[in-house]
Each structure stands twice: as structure tokens, then as C-alpha cells.
Structure 1
Amino acid sequence: MQLGMIGLGRMGGNMASRIREAGHSIVGFDRAPDSGRDVASLEDLVSALAAPRVIWVMLPAGAPTDSTITALASLLAPGDLVIDGGNTRFIDDKAHAEELGARGVHFLEVGVSGGVWGPKNGYALMAGGEQEDFDRALPIFEALKPAGEAGLVLAGPVGAGHFSKMVHNGIEYGMMQALGEGYATLKHSELIGNPSEVIASWRAGSVVQSWLLDLLTIALEQDPDLDSMPPVANESGEARWMVEVALELGVPVPATTAALFARQTSRGGSDDALKVVSALRGQFGGHITEK
């Protein structure tokens, strides 16, 4: 297949390389001149692709994706297909589909997971849209996904792919938080001589063995006490969106919520609140908190 790729950053660039290695043709565009792009504008990208075109948008959620979808709606022709592989909020997918659909342009959205390991191991892909459009893009999906049967799903209509990725990332938050809390408990115990060895021992035969556990072991091998890691973890939005949706659906998600709040706390917003707690303990109970 021939594919246009918009966004050649860390994810988009790696994905384009994996698609090329599978034998497909990529025409890449990025705003940055030093990105390795093939064309210098969206207009040039559209002109370089044979109709009916397939274009993958791999940009940050929000304004960058919204403005690109709007621009493509005016440039593309009926029968062309746009795939949004970024972390767009699922409630925005319908508007994108309608904007493109008014011009006869088809739309798929795909939640993508794999990070920096994707070029080697493949990407997990969660698509939302029509079966016909999914089948049309299948050669690209097959190039991106891991070998074997797993790693690719048509989750439902437009919105379902990004909804699935949102839930995936909420689960990821909870798993990462649990691993962090377990490591911290091991590290602070006088009984445990080497927390890193304990963590590494769980990689085989344990019900908690996972890729995240493998990655933690690698990180601990590189930095046994994680001294180079700042105690700050940003949150990119998906877990927050999942908690909001879960509240609307009446689904309790305490693990995801706790993991989300832990990340927000790490960013410093809780400092003043904890000062108030410390001051009140001193006022009513005479408790003195040592710095």
C-alpha cells in the first residue's frame, strides 16, 4: 500500500519506519524541516498520493489534530480515508468523522500502544469505524501489529478505538502504581536485602509477571535505587477521562482513581494541603512534624 503519514515524531516516525520495512510506501509530512519528511506541506502530501488516498494522522490530541482534520477535509476527495492514530478523546471522534464525511472522506480512529518498543515488538491497535474501512487499512495494521493473532481489534464504531485505548491507559496507571508501591514497601523493609532481586524473581512463575515488570527490572538494573528518577509522574489525560466516564456509567474505579491522584500529587499541588494538615494536627493535638 501507499500511505501518507502526518506527524513524524517519536511515535509517528517509528511507525513509518516499521511500515516501510514491511514493504509499503510512505509519504511523510511533519512541520519540522529536520524531521525526515518527504514533503513540505499538506497540499504536497495530498498531491503525492495516488487516489483513493489513505492518510494516517499521528499528532497530539486537541488543536493539532483538530486543525489537521479540518485542513484535510478541504484537500481530500470522496473515497479517501483518514486514520487518526493519536490519543484523541473519544468524544471528539464523531465530530471528526462528520466533518470528513460531509466531503465523502472516510474516517477510522485507532488507539495505539507500544511506545519506544513498538518498532521492534509491534504496536497494539484498537480501531473504531466501519468494517469496510478497517479491511482497507488492514495491510497497514498487519505491518504495525506484533506477530501472531493478538494485537489488533476492531472495537466498534467510530469512537470505540480511542475509548478502548483510554481504558487501556487507565489500567496501565493502576498497574504501574501497584508496582511502585510494592517496590517502595520492599525498599523500606529491614527484612529485604535487595529489592531489585525480589522484583526480578517475579518475572517467571508469578501471577504478576508482565511486560511492565520486565521494564521495571531493566530500570532497576540500570539504576538500582532509582536515584536518577525524579519523584514526579505527569498524567497525559486518558486516566482522567476514564474516571470521568466511569462516574457517568456508574462504574467504580478506585484503583485507577488512586493512581491518577498519586500522579497529580507528585506534581506538587498537594504541598500546601499537607501543610494545612500538619498545622491542624499541631493545633488540636500538639503534634510536631519534623522537617
Structure 2
Amino acid sequence: MIPSAHIGVSGLGVMGRNLARNFARHGYTVAVHNRSASRTRLLVEEFGAEGTFVAAETAEDFVAALERPRRLVVMVQAGAATDAVIAEFAGLLEPGDMIIDGGNAHFADTRRRESALRAHGVHFVGAGISGGEEGALDGPSIMVGGPDESYAVLGPMFETVSAKVDGEPCAAHIGTDGAGHFVKMVHNGIEYADMQLIAEAYDLLRQVAGYTPAEIADVFRGWNQGRLGSYLTEITAEVLAHTDATTGEPFVDVVADAAGQKGTGRWTVQTALDLAAPVTAIAQATFARAASGQSELRAAYRGLPGGTPVPLSRTEAARFTSQVEHALYASKVIAYDQGWKMIQDAGAEYGWKIDLAAVAGIWRGGCIIRAAFLDRIRAAYTADPGLVSLLGEEGFAREIGDAQVPWREIVASAARRGIPVPAFSAALAHYDTLRADRLPAALLQGQRDYFGAHTYRRTDRPGSFHTHWADPNRPETAN
């Protein structure tokens, strides 16, 4: 076979198929391969008119079809399946060739694979691709990890097929080895928080304000025109306005209230614990999904006493809606801020030089959490690349200050009524924890020293100290 393909895609599920079509639509010759050869043939039969495809039934034919340096995108299930495909292709490649993992891989796996393949001269690139099947076809957000040399070759291709905002591509080189997949993981963690916060806002408007799903859809349409404008806000209005064709009931009333998850939210929380990064709003959103699926546990709790419902007049409901908007916005800022700080912490831990402004830039289009205020986040990190928190930026700090009273009233109102708002509450608690002049962690230090002689630090002099608790009058020991 004469090499003719600019890039190849192996794994032609929905995401792989659409990504291959995206490359072809942009003028690239694309080699396509799947373990099931029938799926390869079907893609060419259905979409061959969109561009130039080279169908390959074997791994050998697939590799032979690629121009050097070979660019081979793997779009298969994360984990063992990815390892198997990499092993199949690695022996057929030559130094300088590239394997690009475009799936939702764990960043630690990407680091391991990159190290192993580097020893053989093959470049391994972990590319986080966000936007779902629609984004893969029409323009995703692409977070690329791996060697600089690889991005020099791949970058123009990824930037061409990515989403565009104001003419700028939503693709960037994030950093070495697993940096791209790490940032994609954090994106998905923020996505969990954003979706949970929106769901909590809906629940409050339904249960407290007394609005119907259709009325709440109108509320979200209004919010989408302002500072809460985002893809998730937009589709929330569409979902709430939808009527079930079978029953004629609001769609949300016929859907089971147990949310699924594919694991990236859990990875974010697990990794945050390793980094000691306090992503509490993201964590509570992840736990809320887990709790929703605990049917036996929920049955055991059902019927236990809760809060007191207090009906609102239409005037009161309108005021309450404004308060919810403040609480949703403030909590969303906190959740995004937690994600950005986690990326900073990971950069320090793994030696990644991540441009936080660039991350905000490529998340403005194509990805699930694209939102109007990402332009402001990008501007904040452009002005101060070392910004520790979004709340260090004057505009965000002022908005959080303006949200103080309604934010607290919403959380308190939900508690009085027995309505769960775990993500709202976690975001507010995170804010109060970090703004406090002094935390009860001083007592924790005393407790740890008492039962485990772990020592403590003092406020009046440097060093570590231990109190002899069996004889508290004995002078403390300095370490």
C-alpha cells in the first residue's frame, strides 16, 4: 500500500467515526481502521463523499497507509482496550511516529504509556477531546499533552478541526506526558459541578417558588442571555421545556432520578485528594450522583422527617428566583476556581508549565462547559499568569460580594425546607473556609499531637512542638 493518509483513526465508534469525518471534511486524507472490518466499510459507504478515506482491514495495512511521521489516533475504551491497541500498533511503528490517544484515559496511564513508548522513539500524545459526538464532528475542544515536537506536527491539524471562537482555535498544547488528559479530567469534574448546581437551582425553583418545568425553562432562557450564559444553561432550558410524547407529561417528570457517570468525575475527586486540592463543590456533585443511584439506601431514608415547606406568593417567588440566580452564579465561580487551582497544583506536582489563560481560551468553544464568563477567566489569567484564585480578580471578587446575602439565604432556606443543595452548600462553605481569619484546624493539630505525638506549629515562634499530655505542666518539646 502506498502511504497517502495524513492521519489515521483506529476505533470507529461514534466519537472515532465523527472525528475521522471531521478530519476528512477539512481536506485531510484519513486512514480508518476498526477491529470489526464491517464498521470500517460502513463508514466509507455512508460518508465517503465527505472527503478522502483509506479503509484498512488490518493493523499492518493501516500503518502502511500513513505518511511519515505517522499520526495514528486511537479512539477506543479507556484502560485495557487502549493498552491492547497500543501494543498492536507499537511494533509496527518507527522512531518519530506518533500514537495519539483521543479517549478519556486516566492521566496516570498516559504518563506510563508516554514513558514506555519514548524509550522506543515513538511519541505518545494524550489528547483530551471534549464536546461529545457533535463536537467530534463539528469542532471539539482539544487539550493536547505530549512532546513539543509532536505538537509542532499535530498542532496545525488539531487547530484546523477544533471549534473556533472569534476565529481562534479551541486547541492547545497543554504540557508534557499526561497534562492534556489531566486538564480534560478536570474539565469533566467542573462539568459535574456545573450540572449539579443547575439541577439544584431547578429543584429550588420547582419546590420553593412553585414554578412548572416550562416556567423554569423560561427562567433559564433568560439567564442564558446574561452572565450565566453557557451551553449547559441553554440545553437545560430545552430539556425542561420538553414534553414526553407518550404521556404528555413534562419530560423531567418521567425520567428516573438516578444519574449515571462514566468515572471522570470520580477520577477528579480521587486525584484531588492525592494533591490535597480542596475541590469540595466538584466532590459533592460527584457524591450527589452516587447517592441518586443508591436505591436501597434512599428507600431506608424515605419517610424520615424533614424541613417545613413554606409556600411563596408570586411576588415572593420572583424575588426568590433572583436569589437563586446569585447563588448559582457564585457557586459556579467557586467550582471553576477549584478546578483552576487543582490544575495549578498538578502543574507544580508533575512539572507541567500549563498556561491557565490558554485553558480558558480553548474551553470557550466545543466543550461541554463552554460559558460566557470564560472570556473573563482568560483575561484574568492573561493579566496575571500566577493568579492564585479567580477571587483575586477585582470583578469576580465584587460579584461574589454582591451575592453574599442571597447566596446565604438560599442555602439557609433550602436547609429549613429539607431540600438538598450539596453543591451550593459546599461552594459556600469553601468560600467561608478560605476567607476566615482563623480556622478550627488549630484544635485538630492539638488532637493529633495528643493521640499520636504528631507535633504542632505555634503562632508566636518557628519550629515544631510536642506537649507531654500525660504531664501537661512539663515543658513542651521543640523539634
TM-score by length of 2: 0.55
1:42 & 1:80 partners in 2: Cα distance? 15
Task: Name the structure 2 match of 1:65.
Answer: 82
- Look up the match of 1:285: none
What whole-Å deviation, never above 9, does each CA across 1:96-146 have from its counterpart, x for those lacking one? 113322322111111110113215641111111111110101232023211
**Mapped pair 1:39 → 2:56:** yes
Structure possessing the higher radius of gyration over alpha carbons: 2
Q: Secondary structure at the match of 1:75?
A: coil
Correspondence 1:253 to 2:279: yes
Find the counterpart in structure 2 of residue 271 from structure 1.
296
Paired residue for 1:241? Answer: 267
- CA drift of 1:226 comes to 1.9
Q: Which moved more, 1:93-102 or 1:65-74?
A: 93-102
Shift of 1:220: 2.5
> Is the aligned partner of 1:215 residue 2:235?
yes
Task: Select the residue among 171, 178, 182 that pairs with 1:163.
Answer: 182
1:220-241 alpha-carbon deviations (Å, 9 max, x no partner): 2333442343322222111111
Counterpart pick for 1:229 among 215, 231, 255: 255
Give the distance between the partners of 1:135 and 1:219, measured in 2 at CA: 41
Q: Is the 8 A contact 1:126 1:154 kept in 2?
A: yes
Once the two structures are TM-superposed, the CA of residue 81 in structure 1 deviates from its matched residue by 0.9
Give the conservation status (yes or no) of the 8 Å contact 2:19–2:137.
no
Match of 1:173? 192
The worse-fitting range, judged by mean Cα deviation, of 171-180 and 100-109 is: 100-109
User: Helix, strand or coil for the counterpart of 1:28?
Assistant: strand
Q: Quick check: 1:200 aligned with 2:204?
A: no
Alignment partners' CA distance in 2, 1:130 and 1:36: 30
Counterpart of 2:152 (choices 126, 130, 135) is 135
Q: Which amino acid aligns with 1:220?
A: L
Deviates more, 1:39-48 or 1:22-31: 39-48
- What number of residue pairs does the alignment pair up? 278
The answer as to 2:38 corresponding to 1:12 is no
Change (3 A) 1:270 1:2: same
Query: Aligned-pair distance for 1:31?
Result: 1.8
Structure 1 residue aligned with 2:6: 2
Query: Compared with structure 1, are the counterparts of its residues 251 and 202 closer, same or farther at alpha carbon in structure 2 (3 Å cutoff)?
Result: same
Aligned to 2:324: none
CA drift at 1:274: 5.4
Q: 1:163: Cα distance to partner?
A: 0.4
SS of 1:15's equivalent? helix
User: Which residue number corresponds to residue 74 of structure 1?
Assistant: 91
Q: Distance in 2 between matches of 1:200 and 1:130?
A: 43
Letter in 1 for 2:290: Q
Deviation at 1:65, TM superposition (A): 0.5
Unaligned runs of 5+ in 2: 42-54, 244-249, 306-479
Whether the 8 Å CA contact 1:52–1:79 is kept in 2: the answer is yes
The root-mean-square deviation of aligned C-alpha atoms, in Å, is: 2.1
Could you say if the C-alpha distance between residues 210 and 168 of structure 1 is closer, same or farther in structure 2, counting changes exceeding 3 Å?
Answer: same
1:181-235 Cα offsets, whole Å, 9 max, x none, are: 1112212235435222112211102x22211111112222333442343322222
Q: 2:162 aligns to what?
A: 145
Deviation at 1:90, TM superposition (A): 0.4
- Please say if 1:262 is aligned against 2:288: yes
Hey, what's the Cα distance between the residues in 2 that align with 1:222 and 1:30?
37
Local SS of the residue matching 2:278: coil
Alignment of 1:94 with 2:114, yes or no, is no
Q: Distance in 2 between matches of 1:279 and 1:232?
A: 18
Unaligned runs of 5+ residues in structure 1 are: 282-291
Matched, 1:21 2:25: yes
CA distance in 2, matches of 1:66, 1:54: 17
Residue aligned with 1:239, SS: helix
TM-superposed CA distance for 1:161, in Å, is: 0.3
Corresponding residue of 1:182: 201
Aligned mates of 1:120, 1:15 — CA distance in 2: 5
Rounded to whole Å, the distance in 2 between the matches of 1:51 and 1:124 is 26
Partner Cα distance (2:160, 2:218) in 1: 37
Structure 1 residue 167: Cα displacement: 0.5
**In the aligned structure 2, how far is the partner of 1:57 from the partner of 1:16?**
11
One-letter identity of the residue aligned with 1:197: D
Q: Is the alpha carbon distance of 1:120 and 1:74 closer, same or farther for their aligned partners in structure 2, counting shifts above 3 Å?
A: closer
Contact 1:18 1:143 in 2 (8 A): no
After TM superposition, the runs of 4+ consecutive aligned structure 1 residues lying more than 3 A away are 277-281
Alpha-carbon distance between aligned partners in 2 of 1:120 and 1:30, rounded to the nearest angstrom: 18
**1:263–1:96: structure 2 CA closer, same or farther, 3 Å change rule?**
same
Q: 1:127 to 1:183 in 2, by over 3 A?
A: same
Q: 1:32 to 1:231 in 2, by over 3 A?
A: farther
